[in-house]
Copies of this chain bind each other. A is one copy, B any other.
């Protein structure tokens, strides 16, 4: 099987590693506008060759678009214009915009909208690792719009990556992604900004980070290129959940300020219920 991966970063690169290792693909073709990333992916051995988009599409059986969402919105229609019988999927973190964009494309059935819920705070082909996806969930959206064989093929990819497949329509996906994943990133970015502003002594940040800061701020290392378009694409859902988040912080603020320890304790106990979900 010939696989083309467009976007040779953490996600595309990590897919390449395990799809090759687990013998799902024989040959991987890479496409990336960023020459440094493209050459790195080739020299690390993530891909077997680099091609221009048109050639890469022609040579492929399956095409994975693993760029940030703004890039994918430009690339996907182009790729759909080029394909014959190839199957196309993407890995973008927001889905409703893309869904609208290609809804009436004559090749829509050959496209399967996907979002593997995995990542690290690192980016670029250097960040690609084996096992990134193991045991995690991947969301496939609006699969009724795709050919049944295309869906089956994309499922085989995620089976090979040891992912659980969850089905959702793209607008539900965007709501839930905002509620669970996107707000976590905002919370981390704002935390990093706060600490960098308040704490002028970097040595103190380093010394005190193991008191919890390190894990809460991990996501603040995530790339602006990936996250700016996500916040843009999923604006309405993100604003709603951000308002609730600011409300909750103001609740804590009010009770701490008024020395209402019991109410602070109640809020903490209520938040502890997240254990039940995540353990």
Chain A residues in contact with chain B, CB under 8 A? 93, 117-119, 136-137, 139, 164, 166, 176-177, 179-181, 183-199, 201-202, 204-225, 227-229, 231-232, 235, 238-246, 248-253, 256-257, 259, 261, 264-278
Contacts and interface: CB of A to CB of B under 8 A. Distances in A.
B244 A207 contact: no
Nearest to A264: B228
Contacts of A269: 224
Given A181-B208, A224-B265, A190 B249 contact: yes
A194 B247 CA distance: 9
B186 A249 contact: yes
Contact of A253 (B239, B250, B256): B239
Contacts of A202: 276-277
Given A117-B208, A216-B218, A223-B268, 12 more contacts: A117-B207, A176-B199, A177-B211, A179-B194, A179-B195, A184-B212, A192-B274, A193-B270, A194-B241, A197-B244, A202-B277, A221-B272
A136 B166 CA distance: 40
A184 B117 contact: no
Nearest to A210: B136
B196 A270 contact: yes
Contact of A216 (B184, B209, B250): B184
Chain multiplicity (copies): 2
Given A252-B190, A257-B235, A261-B228, A181 B268 contact: no
A273 to B, nearest CB: 6
Contacts of A204: 176, 179-180
A242 B184 CA distance: 17
Contact of A213 (B184, B217, B231, B240): B184
7 contacts: A179-B195, A179-B199, A180-B205, A189-B267, A196-B277, A202-B276, A221-B275
A232 B95 CA distance: 43
Contacts of A274: 192, 195-196, 205, 217, 220-221
